[in-house]
Amino acid sequence: MNDTEARFRLSTSTSRPEPDSGAQPQKPLRADAARNRAKILDAAREVFSEYGRDAQMDEIARRAGVGVGTVYRNFPTKQSLAVAIVEQRFDAISDWVAREMLTDPDPWRALERSFQWCAEMQLRDRGYAEIVGTLAGAAPAQHLSGGPLGPSVEQVEGLLGLTAAWVERAKAAGVVRADLKASDMPPLYAALASIVQAGVLDWRRSVEIVLDGLRPRPAR
Amino acid sequence: MNDTEARFRLSTSTSRPEPDSGAQPQKPLRADAARNRAKILDAAREVFSEYGRDAQMDEIARRAGVGVGTVYRNFPTKQSLAVAIVEQRFDAISDWVAREMLTDPDPWRALERSFQWCAEMQLRDRGYAEIVGTLAGAAPAQHLSGGPLGPSVEQVEGLLGLTAAWVERAKAAGVVRADLKASDMPPLYAALASIVQAGVLDWRRSVEIVLDGLRPRPAR
DNA sequence: GTTCAAGCGGAACCGGAACTCCGTTTCCGG
DNA sequence: CCGGAAACGGAGTTCCGGTTCCGCTTGAAC
C-alpha cells in the first residue's frame, strides 16, 4: 500500500516541509529526498495505525529504511509527523463520504454502509477513534484552542459540510428523524469507533440500536 | 472526599498489601502505616481522575504527603495501584446501579438518570471511559486474557447481573424494545463516556438518539 | 523508658524514547 | 567529471518517569 498519497494536501505532500505558511515558492526537494519523505509517510501511516500514539520514531525510520535523522529532517517532531498523518486520514474520510455516501441513491443504505466502514477503519487503524473523536469534539465555536493534534479548521468544516449535505438528502427522502442535524452525526461515529476499540465484538448490535434511534419518529 | 472506602473489597482496603492469595491471617498494619495507605489511595484516586493513565507516582506521593518509597511499599508497581483504583471505581458503579437504578420504580427514568450519571462521572474522572470500555469489551467468553488493567471477573459478572435485572424489569414494564439484552447496555455506556471524553458539549443530544433507539419498536 | 522491627523519605538509579550532531555519502549544475 | 550543497545515518545526548536502596524515624511490646 504505497503512493496512495498523490491526492493529499500540500502540507503533507512530497514537497519541502513547510517552514512557515506564506513563503510559497519552496525550492523542490532533491529527488532522493522526496522519495525518502514519501517512504517516511508510508511507514508512519503503518506504524501509527498499529500502535496509535505509542508509535516509536525509531520504528518508523526502520520501516522506511531510513535513519532517524532523516525522519527528523522532514518532521521536526513526532507530534508534527502525527499531525501530518492525521490530516491524511481525515482527508481519506472526507473522500469516502463524498464518494460513497453522497452518491448512493439510497441515503439510508449509505448510512448503514458508513457505520460499517467506520468500524472497519477502527479495526485496521488503532488511531482512528481518536481522529473521529477530535472531529466530534471540534464543536462549532470551539475552533479557538486547536487541541494537541487535530486536523485543520478547514478540514473539519469541509467534512461537516458534506455531512450536512447527506442529512438534507436523507431528510428529504424521509428516511431519518425530522429533527436530525449534521452535528448529531460525528458523536455517533466517535461512539462506534470507541466501541470497536474497546473490543466489543458484536458492535453491529450497537449500530442497530443507534440506527433505530435515527429513524423517523413514529407519528404520535 | 476521604474515607469513603470502608466498603471496598479487601484487596484495596487498609490492610496489608496482599503478598499472595491464600495466606489469610496477615498481621494488621501498624497504625501510621494504615493511615498512610489510606492517604495514598485517596491521592491516587484524585490524581488518576485528573490525569488518567498519565498520572505520575511522584505526584501521588506528594499529594498523599508521603515519600515515593511509601507508595511503593504498599503497591509494588504503578500498575498495581491503578488496578486497585479501577476496582474501587468499578465497585462504585455497581453500588450506584444497585442503589439508584434498580430501586427506581420507573425503569425508564432510571435509564435516563444512569446515562446522566455516566456522563457526569466521565466529566469528573478522566479514567472513566477506559473503565467502562473495559467492561463493555469484557465479552462473555473473553475472560481468558485478563487484559492490562481491569476489574476482576467476579466484578464484571456482578455488574452484568445487575444490568440483566434492570433489563428484565424494564421489559416487564414494556418501556424498552422487546429484544433488549443485558449485553447491549455496556457498549452504550462506553459510547457515551467516550463522547463526553471527546469534548462533545451537547452529549445530551446523543443520549436522546440512543434512548429513542432503546424504546419499544412500534408495532409494524 | 528501652529496644528494635516496621515503616519512612527521597536521592539516586535505570531504561526507554524523543531528539541532536557531525562525519560521510549522494545528487546535480556547470 | 568535479565541487560543494543537500541529504543521509545512526551513535550519542537528554529528558523523563518508574523503581530501588538505605540511613533515619517511630510505633508498640515489654
Which residues from B are below 8 Å from A when comparing CB atoms? 129, 133-134, 136-137, 139, 142, 177, 183-184, 186-188, 190-192, 194-195, 197-203, 205-206, 209-214, 217-218
Pick the residue of A53, A160, A206, A215 with the most B CBs within 10 A to test the interface with B by mutation.
A206
Residues 159-178 of B with CB under 7 A from strand C: none
What pLDDT was estimated at residue B174? 98
Closest approach of B203 to chain A, Cα-based (Å): 8
Closest-CA distance, A29 to chain B, in angstroms, reads 38
Q: B195, A190: Cβ pair inside 8 Å?
A: yes
CA A14 to CA A23: how far, in whole Å? 17
Nearest CA in chain B to A179: B209
Predicted pLDDT of residue A144? 46
Choice among A126-135, A138-147, A149-158, B192-201 with the minimum mean pLDDT:
A138-147
pLDDT digits (tens, 9 = 90+) for B11-44: 456 665 554 444 445 678 899 999 999 999 999 9
Grid coordinates representing A71?
Answer: 525522519
Look at B190 and A198 and tell me if their CB atoms are within 8 Å: yes
What chain A residue is nearest to B179 in terms of C-alpha separation? Answer: A209
How far: A119 CA to D15 C1' (Å)? 38
- Under the banding of pLDDT at 50, 70 and 90, the label for residue A5 is very low
Give residues with Cβ within 8 angstroms of A144, minimum separation 6.
none
- What is the Cα–Cα distance from A145 to A151, expressed in whole angstroms? 12
Asked if residue B138 lies in contact with residue B182, where contact means CB atoms within 8 angstroms, the answer is: no
pLDDT of res. A163: 98
> Which positions of strand D lie within 7 Å of protein CB atoms?
6-12, 17-22, 26-28
- Top residue of B194, B201, B214, B217 to mutate, by most chain A CBs within 10 Å, is B194
* Amino acid B13 CA to nucleotide C2 C1' distance, rounded Å: 33
Closest residue to A187, CB basis, from B187, B190, B195: B195
More confident residue, B142 or A196: A196
Exposure pattern of A61-89 as b/e (b: 16+ CB <10 Å)? bebbebeeebbeebbeebeebbbbbbbbb
**Distance between CA atoms of B220 and B208, rounded to whole angstroms?**
22
Per residue in A146-166, pLDDT (tens digit) is 455 678 899 999 999 999 999
Asked whether the predicted pLDDT for residue B1 surpasses 60, the reply is: no
- Look at residues A206, A101, A208, A197 and name the one whose alpha carbon lies nearest to residue B185: A206
Could you tell me which of B214, B97, B185, B119 has the C-alpha nearest to residue A187? B119
pLDDT at position B144 is 46
Indicate whether A24 pLDDT > 70: no
Average pLDDT of span A14-22: 54
Nucleic strand C near CB of residue A220 (< 7 Å): no
A19 or B192, higher pLDDT: B192
In whole angstroms, give the CA distance from residue A36 to residue A73. 11
Nucleotide closest to residue B29 (CA–C1'): C6
The answer to whether the CB atoms of A213 and B209 lie below 8 A apart is yes
Residue B133 predicted with pLDDT over 80: yes
Q: Quick: pLDDT tens for B51-102.
A: 999 999 999 999 999 999 999 999 999 999 999 999 999 999 999 999 999 9
Render chain A in DSSP notation, one character per residue. -----TTS-GGGSSS---SSSS----PPPPHHHHHHHHHHHHHHHHHHHHHGGG--HHHHHHHHTS-HHHHHHHSSSHHHHHHHHHHHHHHHHHHHIIIIITT-S-HHHHHHHHHHHHHHHHHH-TTHHHHHHHHHHS-TT-TTT--SS---HHHHHHHHHHHHHHHHHHHHHT-S-TT--GGGHHHHHHHHHHHHHTT-TTHHHHHHHHHHHHSPPPP-
Report the pLDDT value the prediction gives residue B2, as an integer from 0 to 100: 42
| Res A55 pLDDT > 70 | yes
Angle at the Cα of B4 from the Cα atoms of B3 and B7, rounded to 5 degrees: 110
Minimum CA–C1' distance nucleotide for B72:
D19
Q: What is the longest distance spanned by two Cα atoms in chain B?
A: 68
Tens-place pLDDT, residues A67-83 = 999 999 999 999 999 99
Whether A154 contacts A132, CB under 8 Å: no
DSSP state of B100: I
Give the range with max mean pLDDT: B3-7, B135-139, B185-189. B185-189
CB contact (8 A) between residue A205 and residue B190: no
Q: Which nucleotides of C are covered by protein (CB under 7 A)?
A: 6-12, 17-22, 26-28
Chains A & B: contacts with CB separation below 8 Å: 108
Using the predicted structure, report yes or no on whether residue A208 has a pLDDT greater than 60: yes
